[in-house]
């Protein structure tokens, strides 16, 4: 985990000319560098640089990863996938399903690692590091350095997520909320920018497999117990398009209500 944070710092502190090679806003590109929000239509604009690594259906050609952090990215994904498997079992059991249920619905197969770099901001009051949002994933595992600034919405109050060395923060994403019919709810979070920095975070997202982009995901039948499905079925492509067009706030999922 320390190595991954250090690798992300090394990458982002390279000269602009080097990072420029990787600059792209094309979501289909498996490795890319960009600044601001994932989409420039999202307001307020955010004070952040990101490097993104997309393991499409679990695979990313190692040749595409810049040498400066290639070992860290590959190693991090391998290890964190094991942790996420255990978490899927725990969550399945918590939902009253058999332990391998969530990992066996064959949809949790693509992973994305985003290395975020929040430079010091001369006027932090005018921008955010990351604006109020939920993640369009099944599950997100977040590692932050010791700078602070991350907040989560808990019982309608923003609370600081205090940095803790060696900790991973588990965030339920929109897809998990959709398939569990609100039994597990995606967590709202945001990041303040700070005058002191940089702040570095490594975000690992678990998404449905790309091959299933056209497959519709809906409520887990075993959880229905005669209750109507709150959301209509959707797929990753549609969910992401929603976010691209209108941003993640106030709630992406609310637009999928039946
Ligand atoms: C995200 C996110 C928070 C952070 O990238 O979705 O919430 O601490 N990042 O960088
Ligand atoms: Ni997030």
Stated pTM of the model: 0.93
Closest ligand 1 atom to 205 CA: 6
User: Is 4 close to ligand 1, i.e. is its CB under 6 Å away?
Assistant: no
Express each pLDDT in 194-243 by its tens digit. Answer: 999 999 999 999 987 766 556 678 889 888 888 889 998 888 778 777 77
Alpha helices in the chain (DSSP H): 2-12, 16-20, 70-94, 101-104, 174-179, 236-246
Cα gap 205→111, rounded to integer Å: 6
Categorize the per-residue pLDDT at 247 as very low, low, confident or very high, splitting at 50, 70 and 90.
low
Q: Which of 131, 130, 88 is nearest to 108 (CA)?
A: 88
User: Is 187 close to ligand 1, i.e. is its CB under 6 Å away?
Assistant: no
What average pLDDT does range 39-59 have in this prediction? 83
Categorize the per-residue pLDDT at 162 as very low, low, confident or very high, splitting at 50, 70 and 90.
very high
Residue 38 has pLDDT above 90, yes or no: no
Tokens 């975070």 map to which residue? 201
Whose alpha carbon is nearest atom 1 of ligand 1?
Answer: 203
In the chain, what percentage of residues exceed pLDDT 70? 91
Average pLDDT, the chain: 89
Question: Which residues have C-beta under 5 Å from ligand 2, the single-atom ion?
Answer: 135
CA angle 125, 131, 134 (to 5 degrees): 160
User: What confidence score (pLDDT) does residue 106 get?
Assistant: 59
User: Is 191 close to ligand 1, i.e. is its CB under 6 Å away?
Assistant: yes
């Amino acid at each position: 985990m320390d190595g991954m944070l250090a690798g992300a710092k090394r990458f982002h502190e390279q000269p602009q000319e080097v990072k420029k090679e990787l600059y792209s806003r094309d979501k289909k590109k498996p490795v890319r560098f960009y600044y601001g929000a994932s989409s420039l239509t999202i307001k307020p604009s955010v004070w952040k640089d990101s490097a993104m690594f997309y393991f499409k259906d679990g695979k990313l050609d190692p040749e595409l990863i810049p040498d400066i952090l290639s070992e860290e990215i590959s190693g991090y994904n391998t290890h964190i996938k094991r942790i996420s498997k255990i978490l899927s079992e725990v969550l399945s059991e918590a939902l009253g399903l058999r332990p391998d249920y969530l990992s066996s619905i064959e949809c949790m197969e693509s992973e994305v690692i985003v290395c975020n770099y929040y430079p010091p901001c001369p006027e932090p009051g005018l921008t955010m590091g990351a604006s109020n949002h939920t993640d369009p994933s099944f599950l997100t595992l977040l590692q932050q350095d010791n700078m602070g600034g991350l907040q989560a919405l808990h019982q309608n109050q923003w609370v600081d997520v205090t940095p803790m060395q060696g900790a991973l923060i588990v965030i339920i994403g929109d897809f998990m909320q959709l398939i569990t019919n609100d039994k597990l709810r995606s967590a709202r979070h945001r990041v303040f920018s700070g005058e002191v920095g940089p702040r570095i975070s490594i975000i690992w997202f678990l998404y449905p497999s790309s091959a299933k982009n056209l497959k519709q995901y809906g409520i887990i039948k075993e959880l229905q117990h005669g209750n109507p499905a709150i959301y209509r079925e959707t797929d990753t492509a549609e969910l992401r398009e929603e976010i691209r067009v209108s941003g993640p706030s106030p709630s992406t999922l609310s637009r999928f209500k039946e």
